[in-house]
Each structure stands twice: as C-alpha cells, then as structure tokens.
Structure 1
Amino acid sequence: MNLEVKTENYIENLYWRYATKKFDKERELSEEDLEKLLESVRLSASSYGLQPYEIFVIKDSETKKKLKEAAWNQPQLTDSSLVFVFANFRKIEESHIDDYLNNIAETRKTTRENLEGMEDMLKNTILSFSEEEQRIWGAKQTYLALGNLLSAAAEFRIDTCPMEGFDNNKFDEILDLKNKNLTSSVIATVGYRSEEDNVQYLEKVRKSKSELYTIL
C-alpha cells in the first residue's frame, strides 16, 4: 500500500467536498455506499466510547417533506438521497452505561467484574451531571460523529451538507424523539451534487495554516 498516494487522495477529496446546496434529485445512494457511511459513522470517536446518541437515516419521501417544512423549506431535505438526523439522549440513564459495559465485556471476552473500576468512573462522572449538562455533552458527541460522516463521504466522493438550520422541537415531534428519550442536535443531507450547483466550481476558502495554528 502506497501511504503517500492515499494521503494525497484524502487531502484532494477534502478539497473536493463542500456543503452541497443543490443535489441531483435523480441520483440515489446505493445500498453499498450507504453501508460504507453507516460503518464509518459507527466507528466515530466518542468520549469514553459511550456514543450517547442515536442516528436516524431518513429515506421516506413523506417524512423528508415534513422535515423540510421544519427546516424552513430548504431544498436539500427533499432533493438529497438521504437525511441523517443525529439525536442525543435527553437524559443518560444508568442502563445506558450498563449496556455499554456489557458490550465491552462481550466484545473483549471479559467479565463485568473486571470492568468495575471503569463502571465506577463512568457512573460517578456522567450520572453526576445535571440533565442539561448531559444534553450539552451528548450533543457535542454527535458533532464528532457528524465530522466522521463528512470526512468519510468525501473519501467515497459522496456529497453532504451539514445543517443546523432546522426547528429542533418540530424535528423531535415528527420523529417522535421525546418518547425515545432523544432530541435532535444536528443533521446532514447526503447524496450527489447537481451540475447546477455553482458553489462546487469555486475555490475553497479557509484560514491559512499560519492563521489557524499555533505550534508551541
């Protein structure tokens, strides 16, 4: 494997990506490409590895229309192939931590007794947060997963548009999130750019390295 070539391709793909405003309504994401995105997001970093959120992948056209109305009629909601809705827990319960520890024990072929130190640390930390602190912390974790989605999609030459411009309460109502102990935090539309989206032909604008970085 030529790592130098792969690195160059990755940087090239990051230059290629942009927040797509006009999607090709006729191009659907294949199941194979969707699976690659789902696995990429599943492997996202998360504090303690807890992943205190769920992700809804909206394909249904009627649901997308409802979400579009709750996002001030931005066309990406219905023109894109899919809508990813990241929703963090409203309240992190002890059962969430227990489920995570059971998953660790099963995956790593160990016992819960061997995880007692980790269990005490997680419960003494996370369960001591107020519900508001838990929601803020959980929402931050969804943004880590969103970043992985954007980066992975660029690598696979799939277009995305991350979006915060939506009515959180209406999204929660449409997707019945409150009854699932969830609240929407951020969304991303996914599909393929339209040739009519002129933004794709513009140079990417970012801070220079000297402006952005301080190396001590």
Structure 2
Amino acid sequence: MLSLPDLTEQEREEVRQACGFACVRCGVTIYRYLRLPDAAQATLLCPTCHGLVEEGRLTAAQVHGFHTNPVVRQRHFARDRLPFSPELPMLIIGGTRLLRDTPIPLVLDGEPIMMFAPPRRSRGATRISLRMGAPDGSPVQVINGNEWLPTDGSWHFLLRGDRYSIMAARGEGLAVLRIVARNRIAVEHLRTTIRGRRLEVTPDWLEIDGKRYVDRIGSGALVGLEC
C-alpha cells in the first residue's frame, strides 16, 4: 500500500471522516494515509496494521472490508479505551498536579517535544504530535496531528494494552503514553536527546541534562516548561 503524503487538507479531512478518525482495523488514533489496494481511494491504517499488509498477513479484500466498515463505527467498539475526546486532554506528567489547558507541555532546546490539541470534529480523536531526537541529536517529527510520519523503519509504534509506545530503531528515543481515560493521558516514560540536551520524563518527575525536578510544568499556558 502506497503512502499518500500529497493529499490536500480537504482530502485528508474526507479520509479521516470516512474512516472514523482512526485505523479502520483496530481503532488506534495514530495512522498513515494509504492508498487502498487495487483502488484509487485512501484509507487510514496504524503502523502495526500497515505492517501486516506489507507482510501479506492482511489481504486486499480484508483491507477493503475494514475500510467499508471501520471498527470505530461498530457497536462493540470501546471508545473510552482510546483518546477520543472533544476536549484538550489533561496530562499526568513530571510530578505536576494534573496538567490542564497546556497544549505544549515541554519544549527542549527550542523544539516542542509533545503537542496536544482537541479534534477538529466532536467525534474525532485527540490530536497528538511528537518530536524526538534522532541518533545524531537532530530533531525529527515522528507524529504530526496523529499522522505517523516515519516510512524508513527508523521508529516503531505499538499499542500495548492502554499504552501508545513509540521507540527509536536506533538510539535511546522512547515515548510511552498511557490512555487513562478519553481526556486524560499519562506520560509514562519519555526519553530523548536533542542537540546534546537530554530529557527524561515520568509521571512523577522530569530530568533535564541530569538534573531531576518535580512539579516544574505550569498549567494554563501555551507552553508548560521551556528548557
């Protein structure tokens, strides 16, 4: 299945709406825009499900079936276990009392590490963006508004229970987001180095260049902490 990076924003909106703002097979809200097998239409598949297609473990007919009837539109699908919320999420991060109304909790060396935004439509998914350091320390946009950007195997994505896990194929890059509720996300572990500046974060503390802090991220601002 071919990636479709050149879709217009209107076309992307139409694809998201048709697919229920998530992977049509599993409902994960991190996805790629991909051309349906043997068709001109586009669909959404998470990195894991797209890997199954590439390995031949999902057939073209199965992918078409998922696209026609996305899992998030099925009655049995439990939306509460994934970040489907019309509100900006509250965050559990860095030993701070529940972080509210802070779209960019952390900026490291001028780079916004994480960004969160409410969906453009009420039935959509929380928009998550993630910027991490490559093995050479240069900043890399891994996720942009829920779109999974890597196509070269440099980063891996996995849904583990209620956790979105993003891991670098090389180096120490790691981000684990636990979906506590539709509008509540815990930064369970984040670790990255950008241009020699090292950041590590858990729900209880954050460490910047080897110095550990608690309760340093501020609520109610565009940026919670710039370091």
Task: Indicate the structure whose relative CO is greater, using CA pairs within 8 Å and at least 6 residues apart.
Answer: 1
**Higher percent of residues as helix:** 1
Asked whether the two chains share a fold, i.e. TM above 0.5, the reply is no
Q: What TM-score, normalized to structure 2?
A: 0.23
**Higher percent of residues as strand:** 2
Q: Which has the larger radius of gyration?
A: 1
